[in-house]
Each structure stands twice: as C-alpha cells, then as structure tokens.
Amino acid sequence: MSQGSLQWGGRFRSAPDPALIAFGSSLEDDLLLAAFDIETSRAHVRALLGGAIITGDIAAALDRALDRIVAEIGDGSFAGWAMEEGFEDIHGAIDARVREIDERAGGWLHAGRSRNDQVATTLVLYAAARARDGAAQARGIAAAIAERARAALADEIVLAGTTHGQPGQPILLAFWLQAAAEPFLRVARRFATVAREAMEEMPLGSAALAGSSLPLDRIAAARYLGFARPTRNALDAVGTRDALFACADAWATGCIPAARIAAEVIPWSSPLLSYAKVGDASASGSSLMPQKRNPDIFELVRAGTQSVLADARTAWSASAAVALSYHRDLQECKRRAIAAIEGGSAILAAFERAFADLAFDGAAMENRATLGYTLATDHADALILRGIDARRAHRLVGERVAVAEDQGRPFDASDLQALGAQIGADTFAAPLDARAGVRAKATVGSTSPAAVARALDELESELAALGVPV
C-alpha cells in the first residue's frame, strides 16, 4: 500500500510495514459496514456544503463517486479491490476509492472529518439498522409461535409441565407455546428501544476529539441521516460505543429464549419421549448409526448462545479500561460486538426455521400427562376448597401419593374416597384426568383454555402494536 492510499502519512518518511498494517487491519470485519459508511460520507458532504466549505459542483461530484462505489459494493468488486489493496479499514478504503474515481473532488471529502467521528457514526447507523432487524425477527418468531399455540389450543392438547426437569402439573401445549412466545415479545421491545435510542445523537462533525474549526452544518447532516440532533460533546462522541454494545447485548440476550426452548425440545425429540419430531430439513443423521435423527440445529442454538453472550460481554469489558476519546482498543470492542450481533442473528434465523420444522405428538404428550402424580396439587386444592388448611391438605395428599406409589399404580377414585373419609366428607371430588385438571384452573395467566385464549389475544395485540423505529 502506498502512502497516498492512506488517510494519513504526510509526516512519515517511509511506507508502513505491510505486516503491521495487516496486524492492525479491521477491513475483513468492516466490510459489512460499507453501506453505512457510504451514508456517513453522504451526510458529511451535506455538512460541508451547508457550511459553504465546498461548492455545489464538488458536492455533486462526491455524490457521483459514492454512487459508483455503491454499485461496486453491490456487484462485489469493491470488496475484492479493498482486500487486494490491503487497507486498514473500510473507512479508509472508501475514502481512497473516492479519490481514485475523482481526484479533484475526492480530496475534499475528509475536510473537517476524522476517522474517529466517521467510525463512530457508521457504527451507530449499523447498530440502529441491526436493532430494527432484530425487532422484526423477534416479532416474527413470537407471532409464528403464537399461531401454533392457537392451533394447539383448539385441540386442547395436554402434557406434563415440569419443574426441576420433573413432572409438575398438567398444562396445555398451547400454554407452553405461549410461554415460548412471550420472551420474544420482550426481545422485540428491547430491540426497538435500542434502535430508537441509537438515533438520538449523531457523532459526525465531532472530528478527532475537539470538534472542527470548519463551519460544518451538523444539523443538515443529522437531518439527512435521521438523527434527532448532533451530539453535544465531541470528546464523548468519538469514544463511546454505547449504541453498538446495546445492540450486541440485545442480540445476545435475545438468543437466550431460543436456547432455553432448544434445551427442552432436545429431550422431547428423543424416542424415549417422542413429544416432538425434528423435520428432515433441520435434522442430521449419524455416520455410523443408520436410525439416528439428531436435533443438531437446536444443539447449536443452545451452544452458540454461550458464544454470543461471551462476545457481547467482552465488547463491554474491553472498553472498561479505555480513557475518554478514541483509542485503538475500541477496534477490538467493535470486532467482538459485531461478532455478537451477526452471530445472534444467525442463531435466531436458524432457530426460527428449525422450530417451524418441528412436529408435536399430542398423543404421546397426553399419554404421559399424569405420570408422576401430576394432579396431586389439584387434589390438595380441592381439599382447601373444602375448608382444610394448606399444610394439612399438602400432607394428606402426599401420604396418599406415597400409598399409590408403593402399590405401583396411578392415583384413582379409591384415593379420593380415602381423602374424603379422612376429612369426614361423604363425597370428595377432584380431577383424575389431565384435561379436567387444566380446565379447573381459575386464575388469570393460568393454563386453563379460557385463560390461554385471553393471553394469546393480548399477546397478538401487543405484537401488532409494537412499533419499530425506521
């Protein structure tokens, strides 16, 4: 790389060491930022023009050069050229290409601008765009799961809900699906907040750290990019990566619901349970065992979430020892944050496709819905409704469960009769099948069909009303 290709170099007497330029290069990580850097450059052209620093002819020439680079980005030729030239980053590559296309106009593009405010602005635009993408993706996942919950509700499919991985109480499959959808609504809301807050203040025009002596029209630039206003402190603006880190956090934590669902679906898909079957399009086989159908995608979602969480946290951690203003350490922060964002996006996309390919076996679920005496809580509640205090009701039912367990049989009418006798009641009724137990639930937010129907109405209404900043 020649010194002329660099955005710096005038005070140096010899070309930089290519190996060290390569060591410090972030170009490969930066290529996905090209379109955002172009928009940052267009905004700077408007700041220069608004401040009467360049003429309309120069501005038009710069816009034409940037248009050409947009086309080259689209056909892939720009990335090949930039990699071959060995630029430090995408920002320098675009600046150099503008000068190569139009040497006269290109020399004006960086007037009053530093890579510090250029990079900061480009990263905020990237973070806002990826947060909007995340909001749409999370909302789509929640809506798709809610749609499946509607179908399951119509059939009132029941299964044994678990705590500690053990059978707890019967629930509707629709209730489980609603529980799977709810976190993605919260994820979508977080993304929408990140996108909105990212576009509040524009760093462009902060220059290296102190602002510029040139009368840049920062308000025109902010208006062009869609920011609410320019930043009010240049020193802070060039060194903060809050929007990028918040976006990385949103993607990383947004994968957690997918990982938790995957952790439940994986044992469900085993023939030992057969609650669910992974579709051919999202399963894999074994190189040795012909019968295997492996839930690889769900396993990768579960494991990959750990990686994106680590990347997001490392991005924050790497910035903690950096003083105000810009330092090259922030390049590593950027790399890890982008890894979290792009990795999180890939995880949620894979989860969405694999979950859509998952088929549930309602019969298998219902066959096991009362195993482990999952109706015991309903029996204790029935005693409480007959005036027995909660501690005594818990003990009496627990004792009858122990009797049934010792005899190797399920809880049945004889146990209800025995409980009635213990409390001095001629008759005592309580649910003995899973569906009756589900229907007996009376609280808002419970697994009863009516409660689930209301909850899905509210969920779908909130998803429809969720605004995503544009």
Identify which of 181, 114, 174, 124 has the alpha carbon closest to the alpha carbon of residue 150. Answer: 174
| 112-160 pLDDT per residue, tens | 999 999 999 999 999 999 999 999 999 999 999 999 999 999 999 999 9
Could you tell me the pTM of the whole model?
Answer: 0.92
Taking domain 376-452, whether its CATH number is 1.10.40 is answered by: yes
Amino acid sitting at position 78: F
| 256-313 pLDDT per residue, tens | 999 999 999 999 999 999 999 999 999 999 999 999 999 999 999 999 999 999 999 9
Among 19-33, 229-243, 387-401, the least confident range: 19-33
| 86-104 pLDDT per residue, tens | 888 899 999 999 999 999 9
Tell me what pLDDT residue 2 has: 47
Whether the Cβ atoms of residue 378 and residue 430 lie closer than 8 Å to each other: yes
Tell me what pLDDT residue 11 has: 61
Categorise residue 86: left if φ over 0, alpha if ψ from -120 to 50, beta otherwise: left
Q: Which fold has domain 116-208+232-367?
A: Fumarase C; Chain A, domain 2 (1.20.200)
Whether the Cβ atoms of residue 79 and residue 65 lie closer than 8 Å to each other: no
Boundaries of every domain in the chain: 8-111, 116-208+232-367, 376-452
Whether the Cβ atoms of residue 248 and residue 315 lie closer than 8 Å to each other: yes
Residue 226: partners with Cβ closer than 8 Å, 6 or more residues away: 199
Element (H, E) at 97: helix 90-101
Confidence of residue 4 (pLDDT cuts 50, 70, 90): very low
The CATH class for the domain spanning 8-111 reads mainly alpha
| 330-387 pLDDT per residue, tens | 999 999 999 999 999 999 999 999 999 999 999 999 999 999 999 999 999 999 999 9
Tell me what pLDDT residue 66 has: 98
DSSP per position, 290-322:
TT--B-HHHHHHHHHHHHHHHHHHHHHHHHTT-
Tokens 């949103």 sit on residue: 250
C-alpha pair distances (Å), 151 with each of 62, 160, 161, 453: 56, 19, 19, 11
